[in-house]
Structure 1
Amino acid sequence: MNKPHKSDATSSHPAAAGQYTPLKLDEDALRKAATANLDDGAVTPGYGPWREDIIKLLNDALATELVCVLRYKRHYFTAQGMESPAIADELLVHANEEAAHADLIAERIVQLGGSPDFRPSSLQERSHADYDESSDLRDMLHANLVAERIAVESYRQMVELIGDKDPTTRRMLEGILADEEEHADEISDWLQR
């Protein structure tokens, strides 16, 4: 068995070609960021100038989730027809999942040093999705599908806008986006029955 020459093993390594820069943290910058503005909790200067913009995006998403909870709850309690019990049960599941999204978003707003905006008087104007008072089951499903598609697009845009400016918020939004896509698929399936 022939062993490779040491020069053979290292010649393909980026360091051998002068292309290698070690991944190393800037210890001075770490200390500086960690000790500046301690009252800001987890928010370090690395969040840059976008923190307030992200909080605004999140407060609008919070309003959307809360309006969706209200719409789903209304539809859960008022759905009628032969298929309504099974669909109503799923609408309640969606309402609870939207409420969980709202909780995640509110918690993240606080982590970023903001204040979650739960004011009932402005929910509808800040929400991307509409409330709906349909009485027909098919109309309810249609309104919920439109709202879910709005949520999908708004979360997709937020993920794109935030990018690497706030990885924690981006990952949270990506998880919520996946749930909203699942909701839209389920509702679309019900409408095709």
Structure 2
Amino acid sequence: MSKDNKKIVTALNEIIEMEISGVVRYLHYALMIKGPNRIPIVKWFHEQANEGYMHASLIGEKITALGGHPSLKVSPVPETKTHKVLDILKESLEFEEKALNKYKDLLKLVGDDVALEELVRQQIRTETEHIEDCKKMLDTTH
């Protein structure tokens, strides 16, 4: 494996660890939501958990295509013991911003690998949309 591929695989492994932790995080959030607005919010968190699984699978496939070995680690998911909807959404926003930054860092490493560049750009778009969703849900001015 080339030196550049090693850097890319290292970055991809950090991302897969984060995406897998997103599955755990969002499933936990879905289970902890209570109150009159529970159903649409739980649905959204389940969608996020499923998407995290799909992203982890996609990233794992890229790691193996580059000759690497996908990490079995999961980024820590802090248990804040607060399960109020707005607090959970704030945690989600922070998590999505960290994920976006990981993908932006990876974009700097892709070089002339067009397929990887397009994959990373799509993930950046998706993470950006998640951030926008979180911010809209946190907007209580309406």
State the TM-score, normalizing by the size of structure 1.
0.67
Within-5 A mapping of 1:145-184 = 145-164=93-112, 166-184=113-131
The answer to whether residue 139 in structure 2 is matched with residue 185 in structure 1 is: no
Tell me the amino acid that sits aligned with residue 147 of structure 1. Answer: F
Task: Between the two structures, name the one with larger relative contact order (CA 8 Å, sep ≥ 6).
Answer: 2
How far the C-alpha of 1:154 sits from its partner, in A, is 1.7
Partner of 2:75: 124
Q: Which has the larger radius of gyration?
A: 1
TM-score w.r.t. the length of structure 2 is: 0.89
Q: Which amino acid aligns with 2:75?
A: Q
Whether the 8 Å CA contact 1:132–1:143 is kept in 2: the answer is no
Alignment of 1:136-147 (within 5 A): 136-147=84-95
CA 1:107–1:92: 2 relative to 1, 3 Å: same
Aligned equivalent of 1:78: 32
Q: Give the count of matched residue pairs.
A: 139
Aligned in 2, Cα 1:163/1:83: closer, same or farther, shift over 3 Å? farther
Q: Alpha carbon RMSD of aligned pairs, Å? A: 1.7
The one-letter amino acid of 1:169's match is: L
Question: Match for residue 10 of structure 1?
Answer: none
Give the gaps of 5 or more residues in structure 2. none
State percent identity of aligned pairs.
26
2:26–2:45 CA contact under 8 A, matched in 1: yes
